């Protein structure tokens, strides 16, 4: 039990300490009445949709479910069951093995942004954003579809009471993500 509490505390600390590094309008500047209240948390939204069972299982195993259900103003980039099925079987098995809990936790935190992002903030912009684990990921809204690392957003901005969910077509991997493009000289 103590081990579970420590892991949960470490995950909560990582989420609470993660900076929000994107040029955007602060969530506080949007009047609360401007956005209709969603019925459930980001975790409730994932459960209701029925296409995120593997992602939910991984969040549970990484001991992040409670943190994500209670943390305000977060964005989840949620891979579908189909996206997880595209991973090699050996990778899925290895990640979900309790012996690899820290690797799984790091991978799951790579799918979390500790601020509520909207499609309007992303469209027309491109740049790195700090994830819940502190590793940056590039979000690109300059094309027809929003890209997050190596994944494409297939459904944007599903509202939840504590943030939003962007459905993606691949599991994000911090080790396989291309580095953020450096700023051009003289720009």
pTM, 2 dp: 0.76
Quote the CA–CA distance of 139 and 123 in Å, as a whole number: 10
Domain range enclosing 103: 2-18+38-168
Q: Is residue 179 in a domain?
A: no
Q: Is residue 26 in a domain?
A: no
83-104: pLDDT as tens digits: 999 999 999 999 999 999 999 9
Q: Is residue 182 in a domain?
A: no
131-179: pLDDT as tens digits: 999 999 999 999 999 999 999 999 999 999 999 999 999 999 988 755 4
Query: Is the sign of the CA dihedral 169, 172, 176, 179 positive or negative?
Result: positive
Residue pair 11/62 in contact by the 8 Å Cβ criterion: yes
Split into its structural domains, the chain has a count of 1
* Burial (CB count within 10 angstroms: exposed 0-12, middle 13-18, buried 19+), residue 112: buried
């Amino acid at each position: 039990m103590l081990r579970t509490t420590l892991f949960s505390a470490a995950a909560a600390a990582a989420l609470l300490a993660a900076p929000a590094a994107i040029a955007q309008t602060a969530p506080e500047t949007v009047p609360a009445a401007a956005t209709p209240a969603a019925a459930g948390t980001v975790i409730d939204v994932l459960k209701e949709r029925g296409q995120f069972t593997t992602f939910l299982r991984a969040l549970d195993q990484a001991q992040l479910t409670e943190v994500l259900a209670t943390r305000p103003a977060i964005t989840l980039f949620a891979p579908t069951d189909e996206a997880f099925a595209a991973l090699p079987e050996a990778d899925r098995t290895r990640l979900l093995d309790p012996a690899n809990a820290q690797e799984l936790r790091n991978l799951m935190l790579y799918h979390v942004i500790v601020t509520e992002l909207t499609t309007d903030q992303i469209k027309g912009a491109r740049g790195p954003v700090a994830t819940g684990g502190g590793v940056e990921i590039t979000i690109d809204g300059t094309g027809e579809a929003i890209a997050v690392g190596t994944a494409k957003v297939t459904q944007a901005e599903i509202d939840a009471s504590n943030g939003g969910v962007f459905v993606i077509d691949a599991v994000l991997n911090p080790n396989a993500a291309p580095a953020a493009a450096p700023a051009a000289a003289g720009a």
